[in-house]
Amino acid sequence: MRATALKTEFTEYIPADPRSGHLYISMEYATAVHLCACGCKSKVVTPLGVADWQLIFDGTVTLRPSIGNGQFPCRSHYFIRSDRIEWMHPVSAADSLLASSKDQAALRTKASKIIESPWWWGKFLRGPRGS
């Protein structure tokens, strides 16, 4: 049965057997995990970070961008906004791979800009504070 909302649980470690209807968030490991909201029981892992999913917490949880499970048989596609599931049209495996390729290209571009930044090199050459 399709979920309409997820109950958020902040935890250091993600449980080995996550429960349906729960979104587990480990800030220590910058990861969010839940079972697919369609009910197929596939584990959905969303790494958190600048080039991955963004987590917004205002008492509720929003993850951006959408969750596109084109590699799962269910092909489900949804947003998690304010702890609620907003369903989209199913996503194909090809669309999912294309989105992943675009994400990887954007990550490489972002990483190269950081490495080329004088600020980054200044920190790298100076080393940690106090050394």
Q: Does residue 87 register a pLDDT over 80?
A: yes
Q: For the chain, give the mean pLDDT.
A: 84
Q: Is residue 130 in some structural domain?
A: no
Q: Quick check: pTM over 0.85?
A: no
CA–CA separation, 126 vs 21, rounded Å? Answer: 47
Q: Is residue 33 in some structural domain?
A: yes
Q: Is residue 55 in some structural domain?
A: yes
Domain that holds residue 45: 7-92
Q: Is residue 29 in some structural domain?
A: yes
User: Using 50, 70 and 90 to split pLDDT, how confident is the model at 128?
Assistant: low
Whose tokens are 């290209």? That residue is 105
pLDDT at 107: 65
Please check whether residue 64 is in contact with residue 50, taking contact to mean a CB–CB distance below 8 angstroms.
no
Q: Is residue 122 in some structural domain?
A: no
pLDDT per position as a tens digit, 52-81: 899 999 999 999 999 988 888 999 999 999
Count how many domains the chain has: 1
